[in-house]
């Protein structure tokens, strides 16, 4: 078994922020040492298995969460089962911001997930005491809004090819320029993210492979070959 960067912590125990591998990427980065301790004091570490629901659309927003390891699917559903993934969350991402009194989306663990849970009231009180934390949250929320607007353009106006190309390029940057992209999510997740069906996603990936734009070693491992070509497709240029 591979040793994770983040040390395994028993669920329910207090977080050890100073050793946390995602601190630099997360909202916690805005806090100096002693303030970080105050945040840590209200955090509870939680473990989730694959498919486990972290928070449920429509239910009272009891807590905020910060992912320390694993991937999470954020999604909304229609009564007949149609599902729209609004986003994927990675280690360091903050969940629950998109809430008023009730959660707006459901968060489901894709694989094993570890996160810090902050009870809503205590977190909000602390946020008011720590201006740099609120600053950071506003920045995160604004950034999420920009992402959301980009996704509306994708969902409302882009073709299947453009959607899949955009998706591949979005995944590209965080994973670095070398090596293949590892997809933590299934075709079904991707389809629900892009507003398509699994078949269309699969067909489009196969087409990109035939055209020499990508290489599919295994189903969940994509190597980008012709980034510029994909970029042209994604942005609908030429």
**Judged by CB, which is closer to its own copies: 29, or 138?**
138
Residue from 37, 121, 199, 235 touching DNA (CB under 7 A): that is 199
Residue from 196, 230, 233, 234 touching DNA (CB under 7 A): that is 196
Q: How far apart are CA 192 and CA 189, in angstroms?
A: 5
Residue 35 interacting with its own copies (CB under 8 A): no
Side-chain-side CA neighbours of 120 within 13 Å: the count stands at 13
Q: How far apart are CA 146 and CA 90, in angstroms?
A: 18
Q: Which stretch binds its own copies (CB under 8 A): 43-51, 78-86, 210-218, 219-227?
A: 78-86
Give the tokens for residue 166: 């955009």
Closest by Cα among 105, 53, 54, 45 to 77: 105
Side-chain-side CA neighbours of 74 within 13 Å: the count stands at 19
Q: How far apart are CA 40 and CA 167, in angstroms?
A: 35
- CB distance 132 to 30 below 8 Å: yes
Q: Which stretch binds its own copies (CB under 8 A): 4-12, 177-185, 187-195, 221-229?
A: 187-195
Residue from 47, 200, 226, 232 touching DNA (CB under 7 A): that is 200
Hey, which residues between 101 and 160 contact its own copies (CB under 8 A)?
104-105, 128, 131, 134-135, 137-138, 141-146, 148-153, 155-158
| Burial track 177-214 (b if 16+ CB lie within 10 A, e otherwise) | eeebbebbbebebbbbbbbbeeebbbebbeebeeeebb
Residue 195 interacting with DNA (CB under 7 A): yes
Residue from 10, 33, 34, 79 touching its own copies (CB under 8 A): that is 79
Residue from 41, 149, 206, 223 touching DNA (CB under 7 A): that is 206
CB of 233 to DNA, least distance (A): 11
Strand order in the sheet with 72-77: 53-55, 106-109, 72-77, 83-89
Residue 237 interacting with its own copies (CB under 8 A): yes
Site residues, its own copies (CB under 8 A)? 74, 76, 78-80, 82-84, 86, 97-100, 104-105, 128, 131, 134-135, 137-138, 141-146, 148-153, 155-158, 192, 194-195, 235-237
């Amino acid at each position: 078994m591979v040793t994770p960067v983040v040390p395994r912590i028993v669920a329910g125990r207090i977080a050890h922020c100073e050793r946390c591998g995602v601190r630099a990427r997360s909202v916690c980065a805005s806090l100096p040492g002693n303030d970080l301790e105050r945040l840590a004091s209200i955090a509870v570490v939680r473990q989730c298995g694959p498919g486990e629901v972290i928070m449920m659309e429509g239910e009272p927003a009891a807590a905020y969460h910060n992912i320390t390891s694993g991937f999470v699917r954020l999604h909304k559903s229609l009564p007949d089962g149609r599902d729209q993934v609004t986003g994927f969350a990675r280690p360091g991402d903050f969940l629950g911001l998109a809430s008023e009194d009730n959660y707006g989306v459901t968060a489901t663990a894709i694989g094993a997930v570890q996160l810090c849970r902050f009870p809503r009231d205590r977190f909000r009180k602390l946020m008011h005491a720590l201006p740099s934390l609120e600053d950071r949250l506003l920045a995160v929320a604004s950034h999420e809004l920009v992402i959301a607007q980009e996704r509306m353009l994708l969902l409302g106006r882009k073709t299947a090819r453009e959607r899949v190309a955009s998706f591949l390029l979005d995944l590209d940057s965080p994973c670095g320029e070398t090596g293949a992209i590892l997809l933590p999510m299934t075709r079904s997740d991707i389809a629900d993210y892009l507003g398509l069906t699994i078949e269309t996603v699969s067909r489009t990936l196969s087409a990109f492979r035939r055209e020499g734009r990508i290489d599919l070693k295994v189903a969940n491992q994509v190597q980008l070959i012709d980034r510029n070509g994909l970029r042209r497709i994604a942005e609908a240029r030429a």
